[in-house]
């Protein structure tokens, strides 16, 4: 077994696309893939090195510049990265990509329906969309690392919860900074809302929680707690519980196939 430091989600997305489009670098070089919200560029560099024909898209200029820097430093083949002007725009041509993935994007999107429609537009008719992001159901807000704070609406009650929990869990951010972040930068969705939006634009959707656990099993550098939990996946009931926990308390991982062209 080969030990790897590559994040599980990176490996999972790469594995799904390899299974869909071919295992050899020669065939992968013809597979056009968009990294939507490419952040600091680690995943697009990883996918490019695997042989995919990558493009990137970012709305944050600092992240856009970071991606360009990462690609230049990695000495990868020429990769087109475009800067979006508005949150609902995917600035590429219709039917451009075989696949689009968005890792940790939609908890920052207030306009998911319009953005999903754009993703369906830039995919080829039998294309595939892969996404992973936390749902509103997660207890621990993953960016602030405080429980429950994203469940409260803006106001005095939320402020009291933030102040109390930041004292208990450690003041990582200022109170005002946390309030601004929750009000302006994160927008949590329920699984029902996500499924409704996806079914409007794709013929088929599937959870990849089971596949996520499968990739995690093959990592030698996982934490002891995760290692122990993964042993339990040999039992069907415990495996189902773990899949549920992955989706509802960690990251909601879904694959959508065959965009509905309108």
Give pLDDT tens digits for 140-166.
Answer: 999 998 999 999 888 888 889 988 988
Q: How far is CA 218 from the centre of its chain?
A: 20
Q: What's the farthest any 2 CA atoms get from each other in the chain?
A: 58
Q: Is 226 helix (H, G, I), strand (E, B) or coil?
A: helix
Q: What is the Cα–Cα distance from 19 to 27, expressed in whole angstroms?
A: 12
* pLDDT band of 1, cuts 50, 70, 90: very low
Q: Are 95 and 124 in contact (CB under 8 A)?
A: yes
Q: Are 102 and 131 in contact (CB under 8 A)?
A: yes
Average of per-residue pLDDT across 91-118 = 97
pLDDT of 130 over the 80 cut: yes
pLDDT value for 193:
97
Whole-model pTM: value is 0.89
pLDDT value for 231:
58
Q: What is the Cα–Cα distance from 146 to 26, expressed in whole angstroms?
A: 46
Q: What is the Cα–Cα distance from 57 to 38, expressed in whole angstroms?
A: 6
pLDDT value for 3:
41
Average of per-residue pLDDT across 130-134 = 97
Instruction: Show me where the domains of the chain are located.
Output: 8-135+188-209+251-259, 140-183
Q: What is the pLDDT of residues 231-257, one digit of tens each?
A: 555 666 677 777 878 888 889 999 999
Q: Topology of domain 8-135+188-209+251-259, per CATH? A: Rossmann fold (3.40.50)
pLDDT value for 153:
86
Write down the mean pLDDT value for the chain: 88
Q: Are 42 and 67 in contact (CB under 8 A)?
A: no
- Segment 192-200 long-range contacts (CB within 8 Å, at least 24 positions apart): 193/112, 194/106, 194/112, 194/135, 194/252, 194/254, 197/112, 197/113, 197/116, 198/116, 198/254, 198/256, 200/113, 200/116, 200/260
Average of per-residue pLDDT across 79-103 = 96
pLDDT of 120 over the 90 cut: yes
pLDDT value for 2:
39
């Amino acid at each position: 077994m080969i030990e790897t430091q590559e994040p599980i989600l990176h490996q999972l997305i790469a594995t799904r696309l390899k299974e869909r489009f071919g295992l050899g670098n020669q065939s992968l070089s013809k597979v056009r893939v968009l990294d939507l919200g490419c952040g600091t560029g680690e995943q697009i560099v990883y996918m490019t090195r695997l042989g995919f024909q990558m493009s990137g898209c970012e709305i944050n200029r600092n992240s856009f510049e970071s991606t360009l820097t990462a690609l230049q430093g990695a000495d990868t083949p020429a990769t087109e990265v475009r800067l979006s002007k508005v949150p609902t725009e995917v600035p590429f041509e219709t039917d451009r990509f075989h696949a689009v993935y968005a890792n940790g994007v939609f908890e920052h999107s207030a306009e998911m329906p319009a953005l999903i429609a754009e993703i369906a537009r830039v995919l080829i008719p039998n294309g595939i969309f892969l996404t992973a992001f936390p749902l509103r159901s997660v207890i621990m807000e993953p960016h602030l690392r405080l429980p429950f704070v994203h469940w409260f609406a803006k106001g005095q009650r939320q402020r009291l919860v933030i102040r109390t929990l930041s004292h208990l869990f450690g003041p990582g951010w200022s109170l005002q900074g946390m309030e601004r972040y929750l009000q302006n930068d994160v927008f949590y969705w329920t699984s029902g809302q996500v499924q409704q939006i996806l079914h409007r634009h794709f013929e088929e959707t599937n959870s990849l929680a089971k596949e996520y656990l499968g990739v995690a099993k093959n990592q030698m550098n996982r934490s002891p707690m995760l290692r122990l939990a993964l042993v339990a996946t040999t039992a069907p009931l415990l495996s189902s519980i773990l899949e549920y926990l992955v989706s509802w308390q960690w990251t909601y991982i879904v694959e959508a196939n065959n965009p509905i062209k309108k």
